[in-house]
Amino acid sequence: MIFERFEDASMADLGRTWVLAIVHHPLAYVRHRAAHLNRTWRFIVPFRSPSAAPPLGGEPNVVGLRSPGASHRWLAHTGAWVAETPLGWPIVWIALAASVIWATRKMRGTIVDLAVALATSALALEASFALISIASDLRYHLWAMLASALSAVLVSGRVARRDAWIMASAVGFVAAVAIVARIVLPLGPTTYEAMLG
């Protein structure tokens, strides 16, 4: 496998190899990052993308930590179900955070400032995946999703009705595109390993 070449490499060598690959193949890097963003944001992807559902048990370990019990399995199954809905798609929360910033562009006040800070934090985290991120697990988006939700709650009732409709329309449009993609696209790989292959 290609990873074996880099198992004994130093961080400096890995960084140099990465930068040289980008310099020599910039368009391939841009295509790769765009494809990764699409997958990690769960935008135009098939139904049941891998790495969205929470694990049902713990990782093997040598310190005697056991897997959680039945209540965890129930929560994990619930989380897996939510991950297949717009509530589990980071792109929807990105649209919400961007909408909050847009809708509050002329507003001032401590609550609005907090909402904008939360939305900006969410967008900054999500934007960081454009440069580098190695996995598309849903867990990496939980802060951005929570921050987006909190920002929207903070400004609810403060945003003009027309702007609230525009916000809802923007989020709804993004969700609708993602839903159509899941209906139209054939099922893709269902495991992380198959996705890499």
Instruction: Encode pLDDT of 32-89 as tens digits.
Output: 889 889 988 999 998 877 777 777 777 788 888 887 777 778 888 888 888 889 999 9
Distance of alpha carbon 78 from alpha carbon 85, whole angstroms: 11
AA letter at 96: L
pLDDT, tens digit, 9 for 90 and up, residues 168-177:
999 999 999 9
Spans of all domains in the chain: 10-50+70-197
Q: Is the pLDDT of residue 197 over 60?
A: no
Which residues contact residue 189 at a Cβ distance below 8 angstroms, ignoring those fewer than 6 apart?
50, 195, 197
Residue 131 confidence (pLDDT) above 80: yes
